[in-house]
Amino acid sequence: MRRLLARTLEAALTVLLLVTLCFFLLRAAPGGPFDGEKAAPREVVAALEAQYRLDQPLWRQYVGWLSDLARGDLGPSFQYPDHRVSELVWSGLKVSALLGGLALLLALALGVPLGVAAALREGQGWDRTLMLGAGVGLAVPKFVAAPLLILLFALALGWLPAGGWGGWRELVLPVIALALPNLAACARLTRASLLEVLGQDYLRAARARGLSGARVLYAHALGPALLPVLAWLSPALINVVTGSAVVEQIFGIPGIGRSFVQGALNRDYTLVLGVVLAIGVAIVLINAAVDALRAALDPRLRVD
């Protein structure tokens, strides 16, 4: 119980430090949310600044924002005054969660079997081909892979739309672009882990007792080999969350990553802070969930 309370307090302080740092860095950046209102009278700009507390000292703006946050209010958006930041964040978060969840499922569904196949054919042509492809997948960044997918499947072949959001067809290319580096990492990690496990003495003894290769693999080797993959899930999920901004911007997807980019460009302080808060909480929850899953599957990680 004490350990749980300590970890909860640590997570809360981490998120608070993150949003505090973001709050002051946003204010320190040159420009402001109403700098584009050149045609507006000074009185109108002053009224807007008073509405959003920008006429107050910085410390009072921070205390006021924390007070609103304690009541569950992220405030109105500077650029979209008819919408609360919580509405914009929630609508974007649902889109990004669907996109990121499908991308990670695709990476696991293909990465684990490909890694197993490569490990079972170590040193052969299939193994070298898979690892070469995985190396390329890791080396090509998302902002390069996404336009290449659009050029090939949308413009050259005309099979899929180049962007937008609506049906399943609009999901295919962004999910692939977001999944590629994680798929490559998952395949390489599965291969390396399985090769290490297959070299253990207890598996050699199992084969010497006449157990079939399939039974040795599925009953004795695959479970321990997947434990490092479980540990990798946490950074993989975080990579999906943070990497979605590039993919969403390229494909015109109304996710939370695109909201962050547009909010940063428009100096929409409240929207950026809302997105940072949501992503920070998501990362903390992801780490906690993955740690709990690893502890459930690996007794060595359990703490009484």
pLDDT at 293 over 80: no
Share of the chain above pLDDT 70, in %: 85
Residue 259 and residue 271 in contact, taking contact as beta carbons nearer than 8 Å: yes
Segment 9-19, tens digit of pLDDT: 877 888 888 88
With DSSP H G I counted as helix, E B as strand and the rest as coil, what are the percentages for the chain, rounded to 5?
Answer: 75, 0, 20
Neighbours of 272 (CB within 10 A): 26
Q: What is the mean pLDDT of the chain?
A: 81
Q: Give the model's pLDDT for residue 150.
A: 92
Encoded amino acid at 165, one letter: W
Cα 230-190-135 angle, rounded to 5 deg:
115
Q: What is the per-residue pLDDT across 215-272, written as a single tens digit (0 to 9) for each?
A: 667 666 777 778 888 888 878 887 787 778 888 888 988 888 888 888 888 788 888 8
Query: Could you tell me which residue, 4 or 228, shows the higher pLDDT?
Result: 228
Give the integer Cα–Cα distance in Å for 206 and 201.
9
Q: Check: CB of residue 243 under 8 Å from CB of residue 87.
A: no
pLDDT of res. 218:
67
Residue-wise pLDDT for 120-163, tens only, equals: 887 788 888 888 888 888 888 888 888 999 999 988 888 888 88
pLDDT at residue 105, as a whole number? 92
Structural domains in the chain, sorted by start: 91-267 (1.10.3720.10)
